[in-house]
Amino acid sequence: MSTVYSDLPTVKYEGPSSTNPLAYRWYDAQRVVLGKTLAEHLRPAVCYWHNFCWKGEDIFGLGNTVFQRPWFAEADPIKAAHLKLDAAFDFFGKLGLPYWCFHDRDVAPEGATLAESNRILDGLLEAAARKMQDGKVGLLWGTANLFSHGRFMSGAATNPDPEVYAYAAAQVKHVLEWTHRLGGANYVLWGGREGYETLLNTDLKRELAQYGRFLSSVVEHKHKIGFKGTILIEPKPQEPTKHQYDYDSATVYGFLKTYGLENEVKVNIEVNHATLAGHSFEHEVATACALGIFGSLDANRGDEQLGWDTDQFPNNHVQLVPAMLEMIRHGGYTTGGTNFDAKVRRQSIAPIDQLEGHIGGMDTMARAFLAAAALFESGQLEQAVADRYAGWNGELGQKITGGASLDDLASLVHTQGISPAPRSGRQERLENIVNAFV
């Protein structure tokens, strides 16, 4: 079937010297690095929402369809959804990436009742299942949209109305079951409205308890249906709510510990969300890895001059190397992957712009990973870190970690005349080492 992407070429790897704008220069899917192929390391995915649902509108142009796609012009919402699905899988095939991601409302329009919405979604996802098999495309993760409809204006799990909570639970149940049927590797919960606008009308303790119970129910149902994938929470600090309960990786970990879910749920970290929280991307990755909750990544970037989530394609591999290094140090993905939660700019209205955006983003991530892998294999930073903390392997370090009391340590300091001198962290030298690899 012909789609808006049919005339675009299938993207191939041509190497760093290629001048072809529609070829991969760094993403060689079959290149083996650190014992696995790049495709196995990066597990890249294309998102459904930005590519096929966004009409190019912004806050100053709501209802203005900038991107002229056939499915936006189709009056019948079911026919439009199938046109969109056909185009999406055509696009996936052009890129040759192994995974896709979706929200339920991306794929299918909403009906008058949840039962009707589910029936419509069933038909579309049955068609998607056939296309996945034909095109050999897997599902990195599925999720339910619990933020767009007005019923969710005060949250889903954290809503003051228990009917909204129940509706959201029923919606998640259906999409989780479909994610399982489609062989999804993960299921994501993005709590875009799980937070508050003002504490003047908010019972924060109650809302956190509701959120904890909701997530526990999702985990319970995962095990009931035999879903082997990972449940992921996607942290974000604000926008659209003033303060969201899943602010960053550390906040999510504290929440999970409170409700005994730290071994059941991990995080899906988005670059742009990390920076909006006032962190670097590598900080969020390192924190999640250190706490044992690293799961998956949304690859994009923000604009340093804009204070909101711009979801631009990554285009600076140097900035991403530290995060890739943290991933490699901690063993990389298990069920997670690299989802391009990114969109072309409003003025990039041609279908080819979407292709080029993904090519550039894929090459950026691959180049960053290759540099980080070479840096890791050199052992230079690992040795520097080991040397810096070497004292903890000595007698004093072992006594401290073995449970020495304040009295014990005070006695040692006085009897041995311990008077430590400052030691250089050699940051400039280490930065130079990194620069030699990027």
Determine the pLDDT at residue 283.
98
Per-block mean pLDDT, blocks of 10 residues, the chain (438 long): 95 98 98 98 98 93 90 97 98 98 98 98 98 95 97 98 98 98 98 94 98 98 98 94 95 98 98 95 98 98 91 97 98 98 97 98 98 98 97 97 97 97 96 97
Burial class for 100, CB neighbours closer than 10 Å (0-12, 13-18, 19+): buried
Q: Residue 186 in 3-state DSSP?
A: strand
Binding region for Mg(2+) = 234, 270, 273, 298, 309, 311, 341
Determine the pLDDT at residue 288.
98
Query: Which residue out of 28, 86, 90, 106 is catalytically annotated?
Result: 106
Contact 314, 364 (CB under 8 A): yes
Count of other CB atoms within 10 angstroms of residue 86? 20
Determine the pLDDT at residue 67.
95
Q: Residue 232 in 3-state DSSP?
A: strand
Determine the pLDDT at residue 308.
87
Determine the pLDDT at residue 38.
98
Catalytic site residue 246?
A: no
Query: Which residue out of 41, 50, 82, 103 is catalytically annotated?
Result: 103
How many residues are given for the chain?
Answer: 438
Catalytic site residue 103?
A: yes
Q: Which amino acid is at 380?
A: Q
CA angle 265, 271, 274 (to 5 degrees): 75
Q: Verify cis geometry, omega within 30 degrees of 0, for the bond prior to 240.
A: yes
What does the alpha-carbon distance between residue 312 and residue 357 come to, in Å, rounded to a whole number?
9
Binding region = 234, 270, 273, 298, 309, 311, 341
Determine the pLDDT at residue 239.
87
What does the alpha-carbon distance between residue 100 and residue 94 come to, in Å, rounded to a whole number?
13
Listed in sequence order, the DSSP H helices in 192-340 are 204-225, 249-258, 271-276, 281-291, 317-329
Residue 435: alpha-carbon gap to chain centroid: 27
Determine the pLDDT at residue 101.
98
